[in-house]
Amino acid sequence: MAKAFDFGVERLAGMGVGMGGGESETPEGTRPSSIEIAGMARSSASPLQGRVRTFFLETFGCQMNEHDSEKVAGVLLARGYRQVEKPEAASVVLYNTCSIREKAAQKVFSRLGEYRTTKKEGQIIGVLGCVAQQEGEEIFARAPWVSLVCGSASYRKLPQMIAQLEAGNTRVTGLDTDTDETFETEMTRRDNPWRAYLTIIEGCDKACSYCVVPFTRGPERSRGSESILREVKELADLGYTEVQLLGQTVNSYVDPTPASSGRKMRFSELLVAVAEVAGIRRVRFTTSHPRDFGSDIVQAIESLPAICNHVHLPVQSGSTAVLRAMQRTYTRDEYLEKIAMIRAAKRAISVTTDIIVGFPGETENDFADTLRLMEEVRYDGAFTFKYSPRPNTPSLKMADAIPEEEKSRRLAILMEKQRGIQAELNAARVGKRFELLVGGKSRRENQWSGHTTDHKVVNFTSRRQELLGDYVQVEVKSAGENSLVGEEVEGRLQSIVYS
C-alpha cells in the first residue's frame, strides 16, 4: 500500500500536466473505420501460445490518460494477463501516449526506439492514446517493431484487437474518432486504493485553435448519470472515499440518461448526487471550461462540504485579443466575472489555472495583460506552458510566431510571478488547521503527506504508525512556494478554515 512520498506535488510550469491530446496526420477517410488488420502476415500459430501472458504499461500525460490506463489494465487482467514492472519481462508492452505538446510526443518515439534492437521474438509492442491517433499507421513505418496502434476512442475494441494479435496477426489498428461510445469496462485496475478517477465525459467539442484534443479524442460523449452513480456506490463499498470526476471539459457534461427515467442530471446535480453517496467524503472534478462554468456549480460546492472547494479553471491568456485568436469563446472580462462569482462563495474556493505564453501574435502588451490578470486572480497554482505548434491545428498557420527564446523569457517571468503569489498564499496558512487525506509516506520515519480539500499538499509528521488513506487533522507550521509543512493534531476540525 505504501507509496513514495510525493513532496512538492504542486507544479508550476509546463511539466506534462494537462489533459492528453494528439491529432490526426492522415486525412479522414483514409483511415480504417474499425479494427483493421493492417498487416500483412498471418501465422498459423500465435507467437503467444504456450507463454505466460504478461503486460507492461507505461503512461504519459494527464489524469485522463492515467485513468484510461487503469481501464486498459483492467481489460487485460480480465483476459488472464499479469502486469509486470519491467518491459523486458512482458509479452505485451503498451505505451499510453500524450501529444499535447511536441516534447511529449517526441518522448514516446524515443521510448519506442529502445526496442529497435531489444524487442524479443513474439513480443507485442503497442502504442495507445493521442500519439497513436495522431500518427496512425505512420507509427508502423517509423517503428516497424510496433504491432498495435489504438486511439482512445477505440479502447472498447482493445480486447478484440489483442485477440487478433493472439491469433497471429502481426499488425492491428483502432483509429475511430466518430464513435458515440464511452470507454466503460467491466473491470478497472485502480492504482490508488482510496481515491478513484472516473471519466464522466470523453472527447471535446470546443475548437481551441492550438489544441489537438478534438482530433485525437473525438467529439464529446457523456456517460449516463445512472451508470456513474452505480459505479460510485460500488467504489464506496470497496472503501474508496475520494472520487475525481474527469473530462477535458468536465462541466460541459450532458446526461444522456433517458428523460423517461426521470434522472437526467445537470453537472452540478451530478456533483451533489455523487457527494451524497454514503462513504464518499470528497468529490473533485477537472477540468472546467470557463464558458460552461455557472453559478449552480458554486452553489453545489457551497451546499456540501464533500464537494471539494477547488476549481481548475484554465484561462490560457489574460488578453482578450489572444483569447479570440485561441478561439476560447470568452473574453478577459467574462473570465474575471466567473472568478468574482467563485470568490463571492460562502465557502472559500481555491482556483488553479493553465496559461500558455508565446501564442502567435502575442505582443508585450498581451503578455502584460496576462501578468496583471494573475495579480488580480492570485491563483493557488498554475500550469504554465510555452505555446507548442501542433499538426493540423488552426494556429499552426498563424502569422507572427514568437521566437523560442522569447517564449522562454516570458515563461520564466510568469513562473516567477506565480511563485511569489503562491509563497504569499501559503504563508497565510501557517498556524491554521486543515483536514488531509493521507496519500504518501516518506522513507523518513513519522513523515507523511496529504491533500487538503482545496488541493494543497501538506507534508507532516505524526507519531502514529499507519495513516495511508486516513483523514487526519494537521496544523501548518511552515510554508514554501509549492507545499506546506505541518504536524498532526488531535481532535476534529470545527470547520475548514483558511484565508
Binding site for ligand SF4 (CB under 6 A): 19, 204, 206, 208, 211, 213-214, 248-249, 289
- How far is it, in rounded angstroms, from Cα 214 to Cα 22? 8
Q: How far is the CB of 344 from ligand SAM (least distance, A)?
A: 23
x-or-dash pattern for ligand SAM, window 439-478, by CB under 6 A? ----------------------------------------
Helix (H, G, I), strand (E, B) or coil at 416: helix
Joined grid coordinates for residue 168: 497471429
Q: Which of residues 213-232 bind ligand SAM (CB under 6 A)?
A: 213
Options 210-218, 257-265, 344-352, 458-466: segment touching ligand SAM (CB under 6 A):
210-218
Assign residue 316 a region (left: φ > 0; alpha: ψ between -120 and 50; beta: otherwise): left
Cis peptide before 241 (omega within 30 of 0): no
Q: Interface with ligand SAM includes 248 (CB under 6 A)?
A: yes
Q: Interface with ligand SAM includes 31 (CB under 6 A)?
A: no
- How far is it, in rounded angstroms, from Cα 449 to Cα 485? 9
> Would you give the DSSP letter of residue 105?
H
CA angle 237-241-246, nearest 5°? Answer: 105
388 binds, among ligand SF4, ligand SAM, none (CB under 5 to 8 A by kind): ligand SAM
Q: How far is the CB of 379 from ligand SAM (least distance, A)?
A: 13
**Closer CB to ligand SAM, 166 or 292, in the complex:** 292
**Closer CB to ligand SAM, 314 or 439, in the complex:** 314
Neighbours of 227 (CB within 10 A): 14
Q: Interface with ligand SAM includes 100 (CB under 6 A)?
A: yes
Helix (H, G, I), strand (E, B) or coil at 21: coil
* Whole-number Cα distances in Å, 53 to 79, 122, 211, 384: 9, 11, 37, 41
Q: By C-alpha distance, which of 480, 485, 435 is closest to 458? A: 485
8 A C-beta contact, residue 56 and residue 76 = no
- How far is it, in rounded angstroms, from Cα 7 to Cα 297? 31
Q: Interface with ligand SAM includes 410 (CB under 6 A)?
A: no
Q: Interface with ligand SAM includes 388 (CB under 6 A)?
A: yes
Q: Interface with ligand SAM includes 119 (CB under 6 A)?
A: no
Q: How far is the CB of 107 from ligand SAM (least distance, A)?
A: 15
Which amino acid, residue 37? I
Cα Dmax for the chain: 70
Q: How far is the CB of 213 from ligand SAM (least distance, A)?
A: 5
214 binds, among ligand SF4, ligand SAM, none (CB under 5 to 8 A by kind): ligand SF4
Q: How far is the CB of 53 from ligand SF4 (least distance, A)?
A: 35
18 binds, among ligand SF4, ligand SAM, none (CB under 5 to 8 A by kind): ligand SAM
Q: Which of residues 37-96 bind ligand SAM (CB under 6 A)?
A: none
**What's the start-to-end Cα distance of the chain, in Å?**
34
Give the H or E element holding residue 475: strand 471-479
- How far is it, in rounded angstroms, from Cα 245 to Cα 243? 6
Q: By C-alpha distance, which of 440, 441, 425, 415 is closest to 484? A: 425
Joined grid coordinates for residue 477: 507550521
- How far is it, in rounded angstroms, from Cα 121 to Cα 85? 19
**Closer CB to ligand SF4, 19 or 467, in the complex:** 19
Q: Which of residues 301-340 bind ligand SAM (CB under 6 A)?
A: 314, 316
Q: How far is the CB of 291 from ligand SAM (least distance, A)?
A: 9
Q: Interface with ligand SAM includes 385 (CB under 6 A)?
A: yes
Q: Which of residues 353-372 bind ligand SAM (CB under 6 A)?
A: 354, 356
Options 35-43, 206-214, 319-327, 408-416: segment touching ligand SAM (CB under 6 A):
206-214
Interface ranges with ligand SAM (CB under 6 A): 18-19, 21, 100-101, 210-211, 213, 248-249, 287, 289, 314, 316, 354, 356, 385, 387-388, 390
